[in-house]
Amino acid sequence: MNIIVTGGAGFIGSNFVFHMLEKYPDYRIVCVDALTYAGNLSTLKSVMDNKNFRFVKLDICDREGVYKLFEEEHPDMVVNFAAESHVDRSIENPEIFLQTNIIGTAVLMDACRKYGIKRYHQVSTDEVYGDLPLDRPDLFFHEDTPIHTSSPYSTSKASADLLVMAYHRTYGLPVTVSRCSNNYGPYQFPEKLIPLMIANALADKKLPVYGEGLNVRDWLYVGDHCKAIDLIIHKGTVGEVYNIGGHNEMKNIDIVKLICENLQKPESLIEHVTDRKGHDQRYAIDPTKIHNELGWLPETMFKDGIKMTIQWYLDNKEWWENIISGEYQNYYNEMYGKKEVIG
């Protein structure tokens, strides 16, 4: 099996590359990544010399480059993680999200049509369903919950999902789509809630919680997400969407307090700041379908996963300190400098 994994120098993509190389020693994994601010080649250093691994620096919007790669590699599958993934950045600058997340997806699928493929898998998000009210804990996102997006990011991901399903219906492309809840774990870029709070707490910097911090996210350890995708590409039904989530809903403020507790930092570091525009209230996935059809269940409990993750950031300071010492500082100052303290 020869699999193209796009976005493999990012957070979830790199964890998926590691999972696949370890579990399938006879597979070839070709990682395609444009190495944007979120992609980091040092993340992949442990597999760079693996004879079953190839890294290709390539933008998925580059049609010529993508077609050339398909001619060289004749992939059996494509798993598309490549995306602009941060909601706050999409609110500041939507255009690149439309380009990579929609046009890039179309280019990959055109290549799959032109050269043939056994499976194209689109890594999507629970954010395509919009949000749920905080006072209705009985409601969950099912695969047939209507698409109802909030941010430019989620809209770009939903557009890509619709395009993927259209290529299946119109051209018979053998596709699957997965929609996962919030991931956490090693190699997550420090702009996202959990690594940002860990990095700030370790530096005794303020911990900027948006609004009251009552928004709810459904957290899943990244390794469990990778295992779910592995199952879907091997055993999932073509043309189907699978929700992935671990029934682990937590308020943002509780996550931040837990990080303080684990790092023995005072909660007085917490600062409530201006809320995110259009901030989704609650995400909650119903993963019954993937459990019943493919036997998937999350294996890592949040209480263990968060400890492992904090420990990883403590043990791998060089990885994230390199990131936050560069261009990220400008991003941080610009993004957080204009937020007002509200409590």
- Of positions 43, 178, 252, 309, contacts ligand DAU by CB under 6 A: 252
Residue 130 binds which entry of ligand NAD, ligand DAU, none, CB below 5-8 Å type-dependent:
none
Footprint of ligand NAD on residues 133-162 (CB under 6 A)? 157
CB 17, CB 186: distance < 8 Å = no
Is residue 161 a contact residue for ligand DAU (CB under 6 A)?
A: no
Quote the CA–CA distance of 7 and 229 in Å, as a whole number: 14
Residue 151 is given by DSSP the state S
CA distances from residue 147 to 61, 120, 143, 320 in whole angstroms, order as listed: 25, 21, 10, 35
CB distance 221 to 183 below 8 Å = yes
Of 38, 201, 207, 290, which one interacts with ligand NAD (CB under 6 A)? 38
* CA distances (Å), origin 201, targets 169, 257, 283, 302: 49, 11, 26, 20
127 flagged as catalytic = yes
Report yes or no: 222 and 185 within 8 Å, Cβ to Cβ.
yes
* Contact call for residues 198 and 116 (beta carbons, < 8 A): no
- Kindly name the residue from 126, 161, 191, 218 that is annotated as catalytic: 126
Q: Interface with ligand DAU includes 283 (CB under 6 A)?
A: yes
Asked about 22 being catalytic, the answer comes back as: no
Q: Which residues contact 77 (CB under 8 A, 6 or more apart)?
A: 1, 2, 3, 4, 117, 118, 119, 120, 121, 233
Tell me whether residue 184 is one of the annotated catalytic residues: no
The binder of ligand NAD chosen from 90, 145, 176, 183 (CB under 6 A): 183
| Closer CB to ligand NAD, 129 or 265, in the complex | 129
The residue (of 191 and 230) whose beta carbon lies closer to ligand DAU is 191
Going from the C-alpha of 59 to that of each of 39, 48, 84, 107, 227, the distances in angstroms are: 12, 19, 12, 10, 26
- Can residue 194 be called a binding residue for ligand NAD (CB under 6 A)? no
Judged by CB under 6 A, does residue 182 bind ligand NAD?
Answer: yes
Active site residues: 126-127, 153
Residues forming contacts to ligand NAD in the complex (CB under 6 A) are 6-7, 9-13, 33-36, 38-39, 59-61, 81-85, 100, 104, 123, 125, 157, 180, 182-183, 189
Which residues in this chain contact ligand DAU in the complex, by CB under 6 A? 85-87, 125-127, 181-182, 192-193, 196, 208-210, 215, 217, 252, 276, 283
